[in-house]
Homo-oligomer: A and B are copies of this chain.
Amino acid sequence: MAAVSESPVFRATTTAPVNIAVIKYWGKRDATLNLPTNSSLSVTLSQRSLRTLTTASCSATYPAADELTLNGKPQEIQSSKRTLACIASLRAHRKDLEDADSSLPRLSSFPLRIVSENNFPTAAGLASSAAGFAALVRAVADLYKLPHSPKELSRIARQGSGSACRSLMGGYVAWRAGELEDGSDSLAEEVAPQAHWPEMRALILVVSAEKKDIPSTTGMQTTVATSELFATRANAVVPARMTAIETAIQNRDFPAFAEITMRDSNGFHATCLDSWPPIFYMNDVSRAAVRLVHDINNIVGRTVCAYTFDAGPNAVIYYLEKDSDIVAGTFKSILGTSLEGWSGPFYDAVKDVTSGVPLDQVDSRAVDVLKTGLSRVILTGVGEGPISVEDHLIGEKGEILSTL
């Protein structure tokens, strides 16, 4: 420390969360800028369960080309236009600072070395790109000591992966579609912080590996170009749902939140099915989860749980902490604790629960399909936005460390 190198390595490390949309992003009005056809809204999930950890560093001593290592594997950064776009924006902002204040080190001229690791398996089928790009943008912004707010940074992260913009904040996050051609008004903003409604829980049912039919970027382009029902969704249905679910969140009205969530998931998958050729992400296991959620709500006589499905068969079941015994308890009693994932920081509420609703009152076919169709569960809940940490993945001399 006393003998600081003439060419020190500058570092910043952050974690970033996964988010799961309740109003779905599906369709781009501009593919290069990642501008969506409609606004969307998500719940940020706790980084105690799922997180990306990213260290950004730069140094005059590094080789000239920027470097990126993901989960231990060096990436061809030059072939990722999206990564390049994010880095270029961040570097330009740094350069503006340096130009305005000549006392600042010229970090914008140094090569970058970025190392990123997820604590969840890619095979889990969770969209890791949102957490990944949010962490990359937050880490480089911290490295560059940019004064930008999360909302401002969301404009940059959006260019990496649309839904990444929503992972820059915690709690309940809206991505406003915006109207401007340059996308400058297409930003994420916090609708309510995690502390406003901290009781939200999520049980992720990871469906046994099945090849994904079609990547989401290709899928959404197909839907926009071919579904004759899509324009109605984007222009009429979603705007009304955005207003309604923001009200439900403000009022902590779970039944309203749940119904809108489920209907929007169904409507999104309906436009996929209406695409040409048709796109199917849900399978019989997904349908069984849908059935069970409706059965649980019907048996209890109030809405205690809600499903939502992204571009894949995995179900995310939202419920409130107080209904853990009914909701998580039912799934636990069906799936058994030999299935991986009944553990972790959110397990306490369901640890001693052995049953939920009476299983003889739910659809027996759905129970059978679920029993054999899942590879693991993930128990989690609403969480915070990115967090600065000191667990650097790059050492003081620029060497790559790893937690893998």
Contacts and interface: CB of A to CB of B under 8 A. Distances in A.
A263 B284 contact: no
A266 B278 contact: yes
Copy tally for this chain in the complex stands at 2
A236 interface: yes
B276 A273 contact: no
B267 A274 contact: yes
Contact of A273 (B259, B266, B294): B266
A365 B273 CA distance: 19
A290 interface: yes
Interface residues of A, number: 31
Contacts of A277: 294
Main secondary structure, interface of A, reads helix
Interface in A201-233: 210-211, 227-229, 231-233
Nearest to A213: B291
A274 B270 contact: yes
Contacts of A155: none
Nearest to A226: B263
Interface in A281-304: 283-284, 287, 290, 294
Nearest to A230: B229
A57 to B, nearest CB: 44
A138 interface: no
A237 interface: yes
A146 to B, nearest CB: 41
A137 to B, nearest CB: 35
Nearest to A263: B276
A158 interface: no
Contact of A211 (B211, B259, B365): B365
A274 B266 contact: yes
Contact of A228 (B237, B259, B287): B237
Contacts of A273: 266, 269-270, 273
A265 to B, nearest CB: 9
Contacts of A280: 287, 290
A237 B210 CA distance: 33
Interface string A230-258: 01110011000000000000000000000
Interface string A351-376: 00000000000000100000000000
A172 to B, nearest CB: 23
Contacts of A228: 232-233, 236-237, 263, 267
B278 A229 contact: no
Contact of A229 (B237, B259, B276): B237
17 contacts: A227-B270, A228-B232, A228-B233, A228-B237, A229-B267, A229-B270, A229-B274, A259-B276, A263-B276, A266-B278, A267-B274, A270-B270, A270-B273, A273-B273, A277-B294, A280-B287, A280-B290
